[in-house]
Structure 1
Amino acid sequence: MAKIVTIREVRRFIIQSLRAAGGRDAQCEDLADVLVAADVRGHYSHGLNRLEMYCEDYQRGTSDKDASPVTEKETAATALVNGNNCLGATVGKYCMNLAIQKSKEIGVGVVTAKGSNHFGIAGFYGLMAKEAGLVGISLTNTSPLQVPTRGKVCTLGTNPISVIAPALGDDYFALDMATSAVAIGKVEVQRRKGEELPAGWGCDVNGIEAKDATDVIVDGGLFPLGGPEISGGYKGYGLALMVEMFVGILSGAHWGPHIRKWQAPNETRTADLGQFFMALNPAVFGEGFSERLQLLMDYHRALEPIAGVDSVLVPGDPERSHETLCRDSGGIPYHEALIRDMGIFAEKIKVDPMETLD
């Protein structure tokens, strides 16, 4: 049964928890923005589900609560940013704001970051660009959680790709996807709920497809997007390597198997994640970008769907639907297991637990 929590209450809980773990106000607020946006958009794997991990990073000193990102190298259209091991949400906001500024001045801004940490949903930063009337692209590497096609050892992260672009009115295109079959957080959610994994999500220590979430999380790994090789997983593997080229290799950050395992026991190394942000002004290209994008999306939405579903969707439609659900519900609906676990965590970190509407 779902439990509804107001957005204001969720944000309060996140900020107080991060402060209790030693976080500073600005970084706590940055992360609260990202985590709340994830849950409002239905990406529960990257919202409250991640809060305890961020708090533990502060407590263990594996991210620097006093640091700030700095620009180390810059041209009119590009920049290299050193995140100085501060919270990934703060690094991401800094970088995308810089990319937006450059895009407004000359049409495009490309910023890479090193020395960063987990920055939440990649789509958050593309939405920043979209709000400025720009196309936003964001990429990141992560802890090695994905096995390469034909392999059984994790060498790549979930390495997400997000591309978001404004259409007409409040409508927009919003691709936000892992290059693994799913994000590891979705496997964690299945384990929290005590449910089996769908086919094609991940493998055990021998590279064999697994149904038990624990087999994937503890000793196994995620399959690339597409699952095993026979169903096209090599394409997801190629995309993951492409992202790694743009983030870890281009920025000079850690890459692939050299990145620490997030939350691994006794792991004290900094993450040094690599990230990539682009803001593109469509006005410097062909006329009528937003109008033409709207036509493209509406054409597909108007197609006759297969039996058993209401409509053909375009990237961003499920997220907008979940945003409407939250608005109509007066808050964010959470699985009761997550509310229970957050109550335990609240007691542990000594903050007031979240209050639900029911």
Structure 2
Amino acid sequence: MSPALRVPCRELEEFAVSCLVAAGAPVQHARTAAGHLVRTDAFGVHSHGLKNLGGYLDKARRGGLDLAATPTTVVDGPAYCLLDAHRGLGMVGGHTGVRVAVEKARTTGVALVVVGESTHFGAAGLYALAAAEAGMVGIVGSNVDPNMTVPGARGKVLGNNPLAYAVPAGRHPPVMLDIALSQVASLKVVAARDAGERVPEGWIVDGAGRPTTDPSRYPAEGAMVPMSAHKGYGLAVLVDVLTGVLASGPTSDQIPSWLFEPEAPNGVAHVFVVIDPVVLGGSPPFGQRVDDYLDRLHAAPLAGGAREILHPGQLEWRRHEDALAHGVELPDDVADALVSTGRCLGVRVPWG
């Protein structure tokens, strides 16, 4: 077996910037998007990282995404804001939204920002992490195109609208959770389909609404299954209300696929809730209280055969540290996708 391909984060980021700029993105937009995608891969979430770069650029070529668009303000208040992303890069709309929310929360303690008319913004957790790295609690959601059935229905009804949070700590890195509200992210089903593999039971249903492990007809037929049945369904509805409904835009049942309908504007919306824990005071400082809480979780009695208890996001931070030290480990499908994207734009990949 050949050794895994590892590429330094900085080299991957410069490659992605070069591709985006060659396709027509302003340099600052390109750096925002590239940094987000590379960090996603560094955390080991390859389904939402650089593998999708080619898809974003293809959507731009076909008119469904404007690489040069910059978000503008529609409604602005002391603790709230509605932005219009103008079909721009989702990462640009996402990072603008969380930055505005952090700035407002520094004054008001709590802030709500909604970004409408956006596109697929990658891993939701990194926007929540941006708030945590500013010392604040971040809660993030986005609606997406319909890929999930709901109890009692047949076919795709709602998106598996992702929900994420991040909490700053002290000695520990921020606590993070980023979940799709289906049993698993849709891109993982697509990856299994492309690899000719089956998926675990409980991930998808077929065209008749029956459980299946065969993804070969997905997404033309079948649908994802909600996480924990009615619980995932209920949370997906909440995310739709906080995004599409608040933005006066489409809800997930009305959104065209960013990946499979590249010529169509995506129209998704994102929500960012940021809380500054300083405003509530308390002693010891918030970060220390979070550390003490995590220490108690880690010290809980172990189940038979278990070696340790991890808090949310701890495994991903270990991958991140390894990637910073030794380079991002790129699976074959990600490396192949980058070679193809670079070839189309005349940009060489940063490895042999």
TM-score between both structures, scaled by the size of structure 2? 0.93
Most deviating of 81-90 and 306-315:
306-315
Query: What is the identity, as a one-letter code, of the residue corresponding to 2:265?
Result: T
Q: For 1:176, what is the secondary structure of its paired residue? A: strand
Query: What is the identity, as a one-letter code, of the residue corresponding to 2:330?
Result: Y
Between the aligned partners of 1:298 and 1:349, the Cα distance in structure 2 is: 49
Between the aligned partners of 1:294 and 1:26, the Cα distance in structure 2 is: 36
Deviations 1:91-134 (A, max 9, x none): 11111111111110121111111111111111111111111111
Among residues 260, 264, 268, which one is paired with 1:269 in the alignment? 264
Between the aligned partners of 1:99 and 1:285, the Cα distance in structure 2 is: 18
Among residues 142, 145, 170, which one is paired with 2:144 in the alignment? 142
| Residue 307 of structure 2 corresponds to residue 310 of structure 1 | yes
Contact kept, 8 Å, 2:9 with 2:324, in 1: the verdict is no
Query: What is the identity, as a one-letter code, of the residue corresponding to 1:355?
Result: W
Most deviating of 183-192 and 273-282:
183-192
Deviations 1:240-291 (A, max 9, x none): 11111111111112112110122335x5331111110111111112513222
Specify the alignment match of 1:82 in structure 2: 84
Q: Give the drift of 1:339.
A: 1.6
Contact kept, 8 Å, 1:210 with 1:216, in 2: the verdict is no
Query: Residues 274-353 of structure 1 correspond to what in structure 2 (within 5 A)?
Result: 274-287=269-282, 288-328=285-325, 330-353=326-349
Q: Between the two proteins, what is the percent identity of the paired residues?
A: 30
Query: Residues 220-231 of structure 1 correspond to what in structure 2 (within 5 A)?
Result: 220-226=222-228
Between the aligned partners of 1:248 and 1:274, the Cα distance in structure 2 is: 5
Between the aligned partners of 2:132 and 2:323, the Cα distance in structure 1 is: 21
Q: For 1:260, what is the secondary structure of its paired residue? A: coil
Among residues 229, 247, 251, which one is paired with 1:251 in the alignment? 247
Q: Give the drift of 1:355.
A: 0.6
Q: Give the drift of 1:191.
A: 3.2
Q: For 2:212, what is the secondary structure of its paired residue? A: coil
Q: Give the drift of 1:192.
A: 4.1
Most deviating of 211-220 and 316-325:
211-220
Contact kept, 8 Å, 1:99 with 1:109, in 2: the verdict is yes
Between the aligned partners of 2:269 and 2:183, the Cα distance in structure 1 is: 21
Specify the alignment match of 2:124 in structure 1: 122
Contact kept, 8 Å, 1:136 with 1:163, in 2: the verdict is yes
Between the aligned partners of 1:342 and 1:67, the Cα distance in structure 2 is: 24
Between the aligned partners of 1:168 and 1:219, the Cα distance in structure 2 is: 47
| Residue 58 of structure 2 corresponds to residue 69 of structure 1 | no
| Residue 237 of structure 2 corresponds to residue 241 of structure 1 | yes
Q: Give the drift of 1:315.
A: 0.8
User: Where does the alignment leave 5 or more consecutive residues of structure 1 unmatched?
Assistant: 227-232
Query: Residues 15-34 of structure 1 correspond to what in structure 2 (within 5 A)?
Result: 15-34=17-36
Among residues 205, 209, 212, which one is paired with 2:211 in the alignment? 209
Among residues 149, 161, 164, which one is paired with 1:162 in the alignment? 164
Deviations 1:2-60 (A, max 9, x none): 31111122112212222233322222111101111111111111002211111111111
User: Where does the alignment leave 5 or more consecutive residues of structure 2 unmatched?
Assistant: none
CA RMSD of aligned residues (A): 1.8
Between the aligned partners of 1:341 and 1:71, the Cα distance in structure 2 is: 35
TM-score between both structures, scaled by the size of structure 1? 0.92
Between the aligned partners of 1:107 and 1:142, the Cα distance in structure 2 is: 29
